[in-house]
Chains A and B, each alone.
Chain A
Amino acid sequence: MRRRDLASLLFVGLPAPAQQTPAPVDDLTAARQRVQAASAELAKFDVAIALEPATMFKAY
């Protein structure tokens, strides 16, 4: 197995290598992969420790 293929297995949500035909996935598997991809993208995003979650909206 090439390093690139291994990477796509480790980081769920990365697109499969282009030269391979992706295995068919059912709706639920595909939806779970989207959730994991979103989770992975958010995890990579740096935020300041002091930043609190959004709550109310103010006029400005």
Chain B
Amino acid sequence: MKTTFPEEFFFLSLGEIQAKLRAKEFKVKELTEAWALRLERYGPKYNALAHSLRKPAMKAAKYHDKDFKRERFRSPLHGIPYGAKDLLSYAGHPTEWGAPQYKGQVFKEHAKVITKLEGVGANCIGKLGMVELAGGGGYRFPNASSTGPGLNPWDVTRWAGGSSSGSGSAMAAGLVAFALGSETWGSILTPAAYCGVTGLRPTYGLVSRSGAMALSWTMDKIGPLCRTAEDCGLVLQVIAGGDGEDPGSAGKSFYYTPQYVRPFAEMRMGWSPADLEAVADPAARQAFQDAVQVLLKLGFQVKEVELPDLPYRTVASTIIGCEMASIFEPLVADGRIQQLVDKNQAAGIVAATGYKATDYLKAMRVRRMIQDEMAKLFIGVDVLISPSRPGVATKIDEPLDRGGSPGGSARRGLKDLGAAGNLAGLPALSLPCGFAGGLPLGMSVVSRPFQENLILAVGKQYQAQTDWHKRRPALPA
């Protein structure tokens, strides 16, 4: 008899799905088919699907079923269907980076992270939509993608966030069991926050970027978007590890062991009331205040902190601009850059070729100061918390370069933690923490380099006391 999966099934955690697989409630083939058809049906409604991989996934599922029949379990991800941002290569199938210039581009090899996931039996069912070229040129509207604007499953008039738009919306709508995204500056945490899912930006160098489109060699990171913090840990354990093919690789592995984190009572959590004062929407501010209260009650000693006065945004935009200009120089040289959907982004990449070598080196020198200052900040605290975004998802037709929120605070607080954290290569976890006007909000937990187990332990405890990560949007008819 053919298994039918109820709607709530598609929102289970990886542990819950794996337990059902091992209990032989259904076959991997049935699971893969159900999820791949769901992705094909609903993915285009959110512009979340770049390419379906149902056929290769179904082929792999047959082999996984043989493993399960013999109780040869490879990992907690064995047989689990997932989606990958279309910035990651998948051998023999299109990898188009969300950009019209790369339509039909096919690579011979998988990206390293996809090979690693394949090795433990996870099954890639689709490539997920993204902002063209990961948005480094500075796009004006969310429609800067060859698959169209990433639509938010909580409200399709709103943006899913970028640049890992499809990864965020596919997770929110239960179209994949987990997704891979990438972040150079905000591209995992933003869609995670806007779509109400849990997103992990790993420490720079922990996950290989071999086979991924480069936007900024010294800033790019690959990480998971999942239902829970625990799921993020399970995925990171597989995709982390040294890689000689990635010059930025730190050569480190990761084992998900949140149980060995020091007691929270022995550690300090840093936060800033100025971050909440900067939130313009009263409903969002209240939700963030409630989330902060839950986090502060996890047992940490609490300390108010603020970032040192440094030009985080200018340094980040200069480094990304210079590296991006070098990477996409051939597109500028032959004029193909003008094929980008968003003309502001094309202009941004062309203009970035005008940076001087001394600008780049100065930015990298100031970056060293930022890294040193962040190290000093983390002498006094073990984790920092701050809203992932200062509000809910923006409207799909709203310009993204319109400027900051009107409710800004004069105090710095941790408002530039996004730029600072990416410049210093710090890990961050965005947790769903409430709603405002029916749209999700996210709170970030940030720590020292390679302290993923600590932020995941915080996330796990937070999610044990809240149910925001279990909420799900209604799907379209």
**Contact yes or no, B317 A43, CB < 8 A:** no
Instruction: Pick from B218, B250, B314, B450: contact of A42, CB below 8 A.
Output: B314
**Contact yes or no, B203 A35, CB < 8 A:** no
Whether A31 touches B362, Cβ cut-off 8 Å, given contacts A38-B314, A41-B314, A59-B450, is: no
Nearest Cβ distance between residue B391 and chain A, in whole angstroms? 24
Q: How many A-B residue pairs have CB under 8 A?
A: 91
**Contact yes or no, B351 A31, CB < 8 A:** yes
A47, B370: Cα distance in complex, Å: 12
A38, B351: Cα distance in complex, Å: 12
A59, B425: Cα distance in complex, Å: 10
Q: Which residues of B contact A54 (CB under 8 A)?
A: 218, 364-365, 367-368, 371, 423
Q: Which residues of B contact A57 (CB under 8 A)?
A: 203-205, 250, 371, 424-425, 449
Nearest Cβ distance between residue B427 and chain A, in whole angstroms? 11
A42, B311: Cα distance in complex, Å: 8
Q: Which residues of A contact B318 (CB under 8 A)?
A: 38-39, 42
A52, B361: Cα distance in complex, Å: 9
**Contact yes or no, A31 B138, CB < 8 A:** yes
Q: Which residues of A contact B352 (CB under 8 A)?
A: 31, 35
**Contact yes or no, A34 B250, CB < 8 A:** no
User: Is there a chain B Cβ closer than 8 Å to A2's Cβ?
Assistant: no
**Contact yes or no, B364 A35, CB < 8 A:** no
Binary B-proximity of A26-60 (CB < 8 A = 1, otherwise 0): 11101110111011011101010001111011111
**Contact yes or no, B371 A38, CB < 8 A:** no
A46, B370: Cα distance in complex, Å: 13
Chain B residues 344-387 with CB under 8 Å of chain A are 344, 346-348, 350-352, 354-356, 359, 361-369, 371, 375, 378
User: Is there a chain A Cβ closer than 8 Å to B448's Cβ?
Assistant: yes
Nearest Cβ distance between residue A60 and chain B, in whole angstroms? 5
Q: Which residues of A contact B45 (CB under 8 A)?
A: none
**Contact yes or no, A45 B449, CB < 8 A:** no
Instruction: Pick from B354, B359, B362, B449: contact of A32, CB below 8 A.
Output: B354
Nearest Cβ distance between residue B319 and chain A, in whole angstroms? 9
**Contact yes or no, A31 B363, CB < 8 A:** no
Tell me the nearest residue of chain A to B140, going by C-beta: A27
Tell me the nearest residue of chain A to B204, going by C-beta: A57
A18, B95: Cα distance in complex, Å: 47
User: Is there a chain A Cβ closer than 8 Å to B321's Cβ?
Assistant: yes
Query: Among B250, B350, B362, which residue has the most Cβ atoms of chain A within 10 A?
Result: B362
**Contact yes or no, A42 B359, CB < 8 A:** yes
Q: Which residues of A contact B367 (CB under 8 A)?
A: 53-54
User: Is there a chain A Cβ closer than 8 Å to B460's Cβ?
Assistant: no
**Contact yes or no, B362 A43, CB < 8 A:** yes
A30, B218: Cα distance in complex, Å: 26
Instruction: Pick from B203, B317, B365: contact of A53, CB below 8 A.
Output: B365
Tell me the nearest residue of chain B to A57, going by C-beta: B425
A39, B448: Cα distance in complex, Å: 30
Q: Which residues of A contact B448 (CB under 8 A)?
A: 59-60
Nearest Cβ distance between residue B316 and chain A, in whole angstroms? 10
**Contact yes or no, B347 A27, CB < 8 A:** yes
User: Is there a chain A Cβ closer than 8 Å to B62's Cβ?
Assistant: no
A28, B204: Cα distance in complex, Å: 32
**Contact yes or no, B356 A47, CB < 8 A:** no
Q: Which residues of B contact A36 (CB under 8 A)?
A: 354
Nearest Cβ distance between residue B357 and chain A, in whole angstroms? 11
A38, B138: Cα distance in complex, Å: 14
**Contact yes or no, A28 B347, CB < 8 A:** yes
A27, B366: Cα distance in complex, Å: 28
**Contact yes or no, B355 A39, CB < 8 A:** yes
Q: Which residues of A contact B449 (CB under 8 A)?
A: 57-60
Tell me the nearest residue of chain A to B426, going by C-beta: A57
A45, B367: Cα distance in complex, Å: 12
Tell me the nearest residue of chain A to B363, going by C-beta: A42
A29, B280: Cα distance in complex, Å: 32
Q: Which residues of A contact B395 (CB under 8 A)?
A: none
Tell me the nearest residue of chain A to B325, going by C-beta: A35
Q: Which residues of A contact B218 (CB under 8 A)?
A: 54
Whether A31 touches B344, Cβ cut-off 8 Å, given contacts A38-B317, A38-B318, A58-B449, is: yes
**Contact yes or no, B359 A53, CB < 8 A:** no
Whether A34 touches B378, Cβ cut-off 8 Å, given contacts A27-B343, A53-B367, is: no
8 CB < 8 A contacts A-B: A31-B138, A32-B351, A34-B351, A35-B355, A36-B354, A38-B321, A57-B371, A57-B424
**Interface set of A (CB-CB < 8 Å, partner B):** 26-28, 30-32, 34-36, 38-39, 41-43, 45, 47, 51-54, 56-60
10 A-B pairs with the lowest CB-CB distances in the bound complex, closest first: A53-B364, A31-B351, A27-B347, A57-B425, A54-B367, A31-B347, A54-B368, A28-B347, A32-B351, A42-B362
Extra inter-chain contacts (6) besides given A35-B352, A42-B362, A57-B204, CB under 8 Å: A31-B348, A35-B351, A42-B359, A47-B365, A47-B369, A53-B364
